[in-house]
Amino acid sequence: MHAATRTHGALDVTWRRERGVTAASKAAALRRPSSVEALSPAARCVRYLPECRTKGWDMPLLVACLMLAALGLGGTLHATANEELSAAQAAPASPPDAAGGETELVLLPQAFALTFPLAQQQLVLEWRRDGHFVGEAQGEIQWQSSEPRVVEVADGLAVPRGNGEAVITARLGEREAQARVTVSGYERAFAWSFRNHVESVLAKAGCSSGACHGAQAGKNGFKLSLRGYDPEADYLAITRQARGRRVVPGDPGRSLLLTKPSGAVAHRGGLRFRPGSREYQVVAEWIAAGTPPPRSDDPRLEHLEMVPAAVILGKGAQQQFLVLAHFTDGHVEDVTRWAKYTSANESVATVGEEGRVSVMGHGEGAITAWYASQVVTATVSVPYEQAVSPDAYDALPVHNFIDELVLARLRALNLPPSPTAADHEFLRRAYIDTIGMLPTADEARAFLEDPSP
């Protein structure tokens, strides 16, 4: 017996090659689609094909639809897809407790430090069940700090008020969760870092993107390195070129670096950030401080952390992710608002500019956050709403660690294991998955007539 495993989005299919099927039945079945390929993800693709084609969005679905059409599956799945879509729209969202198992509230991050007077930390109140995060708590949350002179919380945002330690409590109904916070360096003079803060603002606003001033030739005589990979060159371009008009330390509000992206003067790139926003504050205060340059001893980004790293959600749910930047000097900053986000599978979940995820369908997808030339990912799992007997998983033979991983993902997504595939099915899937083509008649006959195990 030969085994191979393929994971495509939410669909995990285990291929197994087993002898004992007659040549006639193999040849007949080779001409008809397997029931495994008619699972609900395929139906959903075919259902959305007209919208994909006319509106031009969701290319992954369009590609999947075309592949299904090439296999001859398109015409048989529309009715099933419509039934699934109607049922999903009618089903109300279930609370975390409804799935079974005791849930608890967890305040994320559970412990953190604010190391300069203008530091901030966004907080997320999360449900956890059996060690897994299962969704963001919704409702009217009451925030309380044990030491308001150390830290205050407003709308889920913690800001320092003085050095010390405190406990933040979040209450939702009769339940509560806590997080410990340490504030230090509040009394020290602070200046925004060009390398770690100003460059982050410009990258998030799109100023240093490839479509704007990060292009090879720049835009309108102003060139920045792509997404801020060269802070020294960017500093010179901002402070020394254009006769110094891009920054006016004596009157920061007159600086082109502020007037253009804030819409005070005409700007082809449009509004990038508003006056009074944290982004405007960073750039304005950096200019007012005398535009300090990037230094060789600046803390460098060591790694990124995404919180929560994995979450199990229901269809239609939303989830706020946090991005924490760990620097070489040991301090950690919340860079959630300055990270750039993408979704690897938008048929499962989409993500907004602030890191808030919206679940679109069942399956599994990755959310990627980019900050300062590093990336980090988090996993969003949306189990299918169907009854699967535990015996279906127990009966699946496990031969190696690959089978163990596949079985674990099938359980997590509530997908029943696929039945054992015959030789003709294995052959067709292997060819399509590896080279994108069906085997020739001679190749199929040679494989099916081969008696070797």
Lowest mean pLDDT across 141-150, 185-194, 373-382, 395-404: 395-404
Average pLDDT, the chain: 81
Is the pLDDT reported for residue 71 higher than 80? no
What is the pLDDT averaged over residues 254-279?
A: 91
| pLDDT greater than 90 at residue 3 | no
pLDDT at 422 over 80: yes
The string of pLDDT tens digits covering residues 82-108 is: 443 333 333 333 345 445 568 999 999
pLDDT, position 61: 42
More confident residue, 373 or 70: 373
Domains present along the chain, CATH in parentheses: 103-184 (2.60.40.1080), 197-289 (no CATH), 301-382 (2.60.40.10)
Q: Quick one: pLDDT at residue 65?
A: 44
Six-digit token string for 423: 């030789």
- Residue 176 has a pLDDT of 96
% residues pLDDT > 90 (the chain): 63
Question: Is the predicted pLDDT of residue 309 greater than 70, yes or no?
Answer: yes
* pLDDT 10s digits, 203-226: 999 999 888 998 888 888 899 999
pLDDT in tens, 246-259: 999 999 999 999 99
pLDDT mean over 304-330:
96
pLDDT for 242 beyond 60: yes
SS (H, E, C) the chain: CEEEEEEECCEEEEEEECCCCCHHHHHHHHCCCCHHHHCHHHHHHHHHHHHHHHHCCCHHHHHHHHHHHHCCCHHHCHHHHHHHHHHHHHCCCCCHHHHCCCEEEEEECCEEEECCCCCCEECEEEEEECCEEEEECCCCCEEEECCCCCEEEECCEEEECCCEEEEEEEEECCEEEEEEEEECCCCCCCCCCHHHHHHHHHHHCCCCCCCCCCCCCCECCECCCHHHCCHHHHHHHHHCCHHHCCCCCCCHHHCHHHHCCCCCCCCCCCCCCCCCCHHHHHHHHHHHCCCCCCCCCCCCEEEEEEECCEEECCCCCEEECEEEEEECCCCEEECHHHCEEEECCCCCEEECCCCEEEECCCEEEEEEEEECCEEEEEEEEECCCCCCCHHHHHCCCCCCHHHHHHHHHHHHHCCCCCCCCCHHHHHHHHHHHHHCCCCCHHHHHHHHHCCCC
Confidence of residue 369 (pLDDT cuts 50, 70, 90): very high
Is the pLDDT score of 351 beyond 50? yes
pLDDT at 448: 94
Q: What is the pLDDT of residue 105?
A: 96
For 30-70, how does the pLDDT look when each residue is reduced to its tens digit (9 = 90+)? 333 333 333 344 434 434 444 333 334 444 444 444 444 44
- The pLDDT value given to residue 243: 79
Read off the pLDDT of residues 166-188 as tens digits, 9 standing for 90 and up. Answer: 999 999 999 999 999 999 999 99
Confidence grade of residue 415 (pLDDT, cut at 50, 70, 90): very high
pLDDT class for 265, splitting at 50, 70, 90?
A: confident
Provide the pLDDT for residue 2.
40
Q: Which residue has the higher pLDDT, 399 or 121?
A: 121
| Model pLDDT, residue 96 | 54
Higher pLDDT, 17 or 144: 144
- In this prediction, residue 419 carries a pLDDT of 82
pLDDT at 420: 81
